[in-house]
Structure 1
Amino acid sequence: MPQPSVFKLFREQLNPPPLIRADLTGKTTIVIGANIGIGLEASKHLARMNPGRLILACRNKEKGESALAEIKKETNCETLELWLIDLSSFASVISFADKFEQDGGRLDAVLFNAAILETYLDYTADGWNSSYQINYMSSSLLGLLLLPRLLETAERYNTTPRMAYVSSGLHYFVKFDSKTVDASNALRLFGHKDHIAARLSKKTYPGRDAYNETKLMSVFFTRALNSMLHKKPIIIMQVDPGNSKSAIGRNESAWLLRIIFALLYNTIARTAEEGSRSLVWAIVGGEEKRDELRGAFISTVAKVDETSDYAVSKEGSVAQDKLWVSLCSRFSTCVPTLLTMRVGWFNQNNLIEELTNIEPRVQRIVQEHLTPHSRDARFEETVR
């Protein structure tokens, strides 16, 4: 399918989808990044659907409490909970997953909305560029750690839970350099403080490129994970809210881009409420076509759409495979044996031992819930 035209993008931008409603009685939904922008508005809509539990996952306690109070005031929802999570810390992500595991409740949907767009080179305490860790790595890690509870809920309650990652049409304009993807430390070249300098050719950090790249990486993650679930009763997807009035560009330092953001916000940008409708659809919509939603990219008008030409090309598939291996390898500093999800036959004993020492339960997640693809010549070539 050809890349979307500017006319198509513009037309869809000006036509936000209608708000869809559902009955969430007895069901539990988590919204990551629920205290601002489209995440806040999506939470308000979900709060009006009589949720059994609606967990607002926020980084800042004060802002989270303010959001909870605002949602409760506008919706009269009495089943709101505030949980803290900092996606710039792998330890915080693991702690959040631990808390939910100990909580013992059902889990029907997770909306991964939190993201940043930084224009300066900034690193987390874990050593990763903030954009890559927050937008991609931590969200992927949390999704994997919550996967068993989602599947358990599916079996126990005869339902189909969902994980929706907020994406962006900007991924259409990204194509990874083959030299970087082919490197044995590909993911570190993209975003680790000890390696990123080898890839940068500009004096000014290309933060906008990093944001776009993380959105494509997230598309790859969703497609890879979905393919290993082999139609188990869970739906994992990407959803594009369109250009909306949010705080995503709040740290923009370039004066020209600040002007562009201002022009967009005052002309064609959707309100945060309008942008949130696609997110709500991803959580409760499309029940009549569940199979189409598995691993899908949901457009700004809440319809299943194609990802970029590059993402579905042979070159993109190779990049997807390599980045999956690299992603799982990088979790060696915080979680065990995710690597075997993709390539159980690939010898990574040292990594497996290291991962298991830090977070042993991921070994169980891998063995119990995910099935590697059958071996094929193309993939064997990529991992050699």
Structure 2
Amino acid sequence: MDSISFILIPQPDLSTHTVSRVVGVSSEAHYWASFDKKVWTGSDPIIRTLGGAAYHQENGSSAIRARYPITKLLNVFFTRALAARVSPHRVVVNTVTPGMCKTELARDLPVILRPLVWLMHTLLGFTAEQGSRQLIFGAVAEPAHPEKLHGQFIMGSKPTEPSDFVLSDLGKKSEELLWEEVVEILDKVDPKVKQVAEEYLARKI
């Protein structure tokens, strides 16, 4: 999976009761993530399944085409799982989409697709600076009541309902499984991760 990006994690000022923000970067592409029962209802962990050779051999090029929306879905899941484990009165966690921006992200697309991307950028695209405003919104908006943005998917400078799959019973189960898998993966890098997660990041809501 691609990286789960986060920005702006200031240290809380306990003397002034400042609320810190963690802003994840996702995309509206998560609405288009494909529903593959082998991934979401299988016995193997989600990331291991998506990254496994067997899954790609079985699904071929369709697995690659589906990768971007799925990684953005995982970003939403992880953000919601983290938000459920921290108090919004201390740390507000949300994820935003900057929208389609005119950048070099699509520079390696097949030549046949480039005219379509150019047209979409021309008609619908934002500049990178315009897209970055969404990240700033997630980091500073609702200064009097930042908890209103806690656990939210933000699009167009407002909290927006995520995909039906995210809100479904299976989606909620997948969110929990993904959290557990990420903790296990990180624990192999640093054995303290699981201990910290169990002590400080037990599910609260």
Residue 48 (structure 2) pairs with residue 188 (structure 1): yes
1:298 to 154, 164, 189: 154
Match of 2:175 in 1: 320
Q: CA deviation at 1:199?
A: 4.5
Matches within 5 A, 1:1-384: 132=1, 134-136=2-4, 139=5, 153-181=12-40, 182-191=42-51, 195-204=52-61, 206-252=63-109, 254-299=110-155, 301-335=156-190, 356=191, 360=192, 362-363=193-194, 365-372=196-203
What percent identity do the matched residue pairs reach? 28
Query: Could you tell me whether the CA contact under 8 Å between 1:175 and 1:310 is conserved in 2?
Result: no
User: What is the distance in 1 between the residues matched to 2:53 and 2:69?
Assistant: 16
- Any idea what the Cα deviations from partners look like across 1:170-198, whole Å, max 9, x if unmatched? 1011144232233233311112xxx2333
Q: Give the letter aligned to residue 76 of structure 2.
A: V
One-letter amino acid of the counterpart of residue 260, structure 1: L
Shift of 1:207: 3.3
How far off its partner does 1:204 sit? 2.9
Displacement after TM superposition at 1:325 (Å): 1.8
Structure 1 residue matching 2:124: 3-state secondary structure: coil
- Following TM superposition, by how much is the alpha carbon of 1:286 offset from its aligned partner in structure 2, in angstroms? 2.1
Q: Tell me the secondary structure at the aligned position of residue 23 of structure 2.
A: strand
Sort the Cα spacing of 1:186 and 1:166 in 2 relative to 1 into closer, same or farther, 3 A. closer
Q: Which amino acid aligns with 1:225?
A: L
Cα deviation for residue 214 of structure 1 reads 0.7
Q: Structure 2: how far apart are the matches of 1:285 and 1:159?
A: 14
Give the Cα separation in 1 of the matches to 2:199 and 2:188.
22
Counterparts of 2:187 and 2:145 in 1: how far apart (Å)? 37
- Aligned residue for 1:183, secondary structure, equals coil
Deviation (angstroms), 1:162: 0.7
Residue type of the alignment partner of 2:54: A
5+ long unaligned stretches in structure 2 = none
Q: Please, what TM-score do these two structures have when normalized by structure 1?
A: 0.48
Q: 1:290 to 1:281 in 2, by over 3 A?
A: same
Q: Which runs of 5+ in 1 are unaligned?
A: 1-131, 336-355, 375-384
- Return closer, same or farther for 1:186/1:262 CA change in 2, 3 Å cut-off: same
Once superposed, what is the RMSD of the aligned Cα atoms? 2.5
Would you say the 8 A contact 1:168–1:240 is kept in 2? yes
Instruction: Give the Cα separation in 1 of the matches to 2:125 and 2:57.
Output: 32
Deviations 1:263-298 (A, max 9, x none): 112222112222122122112222233222001011
Partners of 2:57 and 2:69 in 1: how far apart?
15
**SS, match of residue 108 in structure 2:** coil
Contact persistence 2:12–2:90 (CA under 8 A)? no
TM-score by length of 2: 0.86
Q: Is the CA contact (8 Å cut-off) linking 2:98 and 2:135 kept in structure 1?
A: yes
**CA separation in 2, counterparts of 1:204 and 1:180?**
16
Higher RCO (Cα < 8 Å, 6 or more apart): 2
Task: Give the whole-Å Cα distance in 2 for the aligned partners of 1:178 and 1:310.
Answer: 12
Change (3 A) 1:190 1:154: farther
